[in-house]
Amino acid sequence: MTATVLVLNAGSSSLKWDLFAAPALTSLKSGVVERIGEEGGVPDHAAALAAVLDELGEDRPAVVGHRIVHGGRSFSGPALLDEAAVAEVERLVPLAPLHNPAALAGVRAVAERLPDVPQVGAFDTAFHQTMPEAAARYALPAWCEAEHGVRRYGFHGTSHQYVSRVAGEFLRETAGRSPAELKLVTLHLGNGCSAAAVSGGVCVDTSMGLTPLEGLVMGTRTGDLDPAAVTYLQRSAGLSAEEMDRLLNRESGLKGLCGDNDVRRVLQRAADGDADAELALDVYCRRIRKYVGAYAAALGRLDGVVFTAGVGENAAEIRRRVCEPLAGFGIALDAAANARRSKEVRRLDAGGPVAVLVVPTDEEGEIARQAWGLAGVG
Q: Select the more confidently predicted residue: 223 or 109.
A: 223
CA angle at 159 for the pair 70 and 116, rounded to the nearest 5°: 60
- Considering the chain, what is the average pLDDT of its residues? 94
Question: Looking at residue 377, what is its pLDDT?
Answer: 64
Q: Is residue 49 within 8 Å of residue 106, measured between CB atoms?
A: yes
In the predicted model, is pLDDT for residue 162 greater than 80? yes
Question: Looking at residue 208, what is its pLDDT?
Answer: 96
The mean pLDDT of 45-72, rounded to a whole number, is 89
For this structure, is 124 an active site residue? yes
- pTM, two decimals, is 0.94
Indicate the class that CATH gives domain 176-363.
Answer: alpha beta
Whole-angstrom Cα distance, residue 57 to residue 296? 50
In the predicted model, is pLDDT for residue 224 greater than 60? yes
Question: Looking at residue 260, what is its pLDDT?
Answer: 95
Name the band, by pLDDT with cuts 50, 70 and 90, for residue 376.
Answer: low
Question: Looking at residue 36, what is its pLDDT?
Answer: 84
Name the band, by pLDDT with cuts 50, 70 and 90, for residue 60.
Answer: confident
* pLDDT more than 70, % of the chain: 99
Question: Looking at residue 375, what is its pLDDT?
Answer: 86
Dump pLDDT digits (tens) for 252-290: 999 999 999 999 999 999 999 999 999 999 999 999 999
Question: Looking at residue 58, what is its pLDDT?
Answer: 80
* Phi, psi of 125, rounded to the nearest 5 degrees: -90, -15
Question: Left if phi > 0, otherwise alpha if psi is -120 to 50, otherwise beta: which for 351?
Answer: left
In the predicted model, is pLDDT for residue 247 greater than 70? yes
Question: Looking at residue 49, what is its pLDDT?
Answer: 84
Q: Please check whether the two domains, 4-123 and 176-363, share a CATH topology.
A: yes
In the predicted model, is pLDDT for residue 378 greater than 80? no
Q: Which of 54, 82, 124, 262 is catalytic?
A: 124
DSSP secondary structure code for residue 178 in this structure:
-
Question: Looking at residue 1, what is its pLDDT?
Answer: 64
Indicate the class that CATH gives domain 4-123.
Answer: alpha beta
CA distances from 61 to 18, 30, 331, 378 (A): 11, 13, 45, 12
Dump pLDDT digits (tens) for 296-348: 999 999 999 999 999 999 999 999 999 999 999 999 999 999 999 999 999 99
Sequence ranges of the domains in the chain: 4-123, 176-363
Report the range of poorest mean pLDDT among 21-25, 230-234, 365-369.
Answer: 21-25
The mean pLDDT of 52-76, rounded to a whole number, is 90
Q: Select the more confidently predicted residue: 206 or 13.
A: 206
Q: Nearest to residue 194, comparing CAs of 167, 219, 226? A: 219
* pLDDT more than 90, % of the chain: 81
